[in-house]
Amino acid sequence: MRDRRGRVYRVGESDVELLGRGRIWMVVLPWVGMAGISWAAYAFFAAQAGLRAAHRWGGDLYWPAGVWALAQAAVALPAGRLRESGRLPARTAMATGALGTLAGYLALALAPQLDVARLAFAVCAGVGAGLVHATCLTLPGRWWPERRGGPTGVVASGLAFGAVPFLLPPVVGADPRVLLAVAGAGGSLAVAGAGRLLRDPPRNWWPPRPDPLALPADPVARRAREKNPPAVRHHTLRQAGRSPALWLTWLCLLGMAAVTVLGILLQVRYAQQLGVSGELLRSVTVAGGAAAAVAGALSDRSGRRAALVAACLLLGTAQFGVLIAARTGSGALLLGCAAATGAAGATALALVTALAADLFGENHHASVHGLLTGAWLLPVAAGCGTGAAGYAARDPHAAFLLAGCTGLACAAVALFLRAPGRLSVRRIVPNPHPLGEEMA
């Protein structure tokens, strides 16, 4: 089927005919993969105290984590190009990611030399995580093109659920070598097992219902279609790069990621002053990250751009709330702000991933998402690898003020996100000389 703008929709095959099972499995299995890879990532931070003694690491322990984030960002765009060209199927990408994760964490746990352990962990585990993220986050939107917000949000929430085992005191106090080896092996098995059943839909695929060319009869479905219309056409990365919408999206995600990382790292400082335990603060932040599933489903009805603006406002307001909590001595307010920070940060990743497909189409979504992934991971690498959080901790009041203003600025940027090529009703100028009866 072809619409009035020339976009092609492949309608006819159902998800059961293509997969042999319902497409809900293309949400469950990527969620398992995301939870598995995040489980392995959180193991590094849970084992940090024991790693100093086991490997005799001194100084800044987070330097390997910064290189891990850079390696993940570096592989995201090439992996996306290979994924969209068909040369890297989902099953192969997940298997390769599982092997890289296993090799990185085993080296971190067993390598006798410090340089070897750092290099193997940063490169192998970072490349593995990049492949898994590039596959799991973009796959649900291709199988659910008519309402991709909810499925994408569910998959993004797997990042938070992977941290749940490491909130338990027995796990945190375990031997670091055993913890890293078990977490690497368990995460790799989860990723490889989930990847065996993953499949990509055909290009331009659309489910048999609803009709992509007709407005749905259901008022709720009609409102969702009006709020989140499909992309005008499928833009390649080069074509998307010529549009301001891509770079505005990149800046918005970069700012939200920076505020999220800074807030999570600095809220611990105020928690100690207010008598709030670090374990409780981390638990609340992780619980807030699970809100990405709810926000994704709500964006299908209220609109992706409106939901992203609301997430930016929530994130910026939460940073101002931390300052109020520190001044009033309210531990409950601090916990609420920590939950809001985790919720808004995870929601931003899910909404931007789904919004990129709404703006630029699904056929080249993997490469566009690979470019946007760099905006999400650069603040992680800067906060962990360069000690920027340490400098910000010297003046946390100014840091939270800057973070709050950045969140509000991201909300303003999100207001200008519009699909390239789509005409705005406000730009339509009526004909000053309409065809009248005399001329007819």
205-214, 256-265, 388-397, range with the lowest pLDDT: 388-397
Rounded CA gap, 8 and 368, in Å?
20
**Both tokens assigned to 303:** 């609109």
CATH number (3.40.1280.10, 1.10.8.80, 3.20.20.70, 1.20.1250.20) of 8-210 reads: 1.20.1250.20
- Tell me which DSSP letter residue 165 carries: G
All CATH 1.20.1250.20 domain ranges of the chain, comma separated, are 8-210, 232-420
Which range of 29-33, 68-72, 224-228, 424-428 scores highest in mean pLDDT? It is 29-33
pLDDT digits (tens, 9 = 90+) for 103-142: 888 887 776 666 677 778 888 989 999 999 999 999 999 9
Contact 114, 55 (CB under 8 A): yes
**Residue-by-residue DSSP string for 243-299:** SHHHHHHHHHHHHHHHHHHHHHHHHHHHHHHHT--HHHHHHHHHHHHTTHHHHHHHH
Q: Could you tell me the pLDDT band of residue 59, with boundaries at 50, 70 and 90?
A: very low
Mean per-residue pLDDT of the chain: 85
Q: Whole-model pTM above 0.85?
A: yes
**Which residue is it, tokens 């926000």?**
295
- Is residue 339's pLDDT more than 70? yes
pLDDT digits (tens, 9 = 90+) for 281-293: 888 888 888 888 8
pLDDT at position 354 is: 93
Question: At 10, which helix (H) or strand (E)?
Answer: strand 10-11
pLDDT digits (tens, 9 = 90+) for 34-56: 999 988 888 777 766 566 655 55
Give me the amino acid identity at 78: P
Burial class from Cβ neighbours inside 10 Å (0-12, 13-18, 19+) for residue 140 reads: buried
Whether omega for the bond prior to residue 78 falls within 30 degrees of 0, making it cis, is: no
- Is residue 374's pLDDT more than 70? yes
Mean pLDDT of 192-220: 87
**Residue-by-residue DSSP string for 228-250:** SPPPSS---HHHHHTSHHHHHHH
pLDDT at position 137 is: 93
Q: Specify the fold of 232-420.
A: Growth Hormone; Chain: A; (1.20.1250)
**Sign of the torsion formed by the C-alpha atoms of 85, 88, 89 and 93:** negative
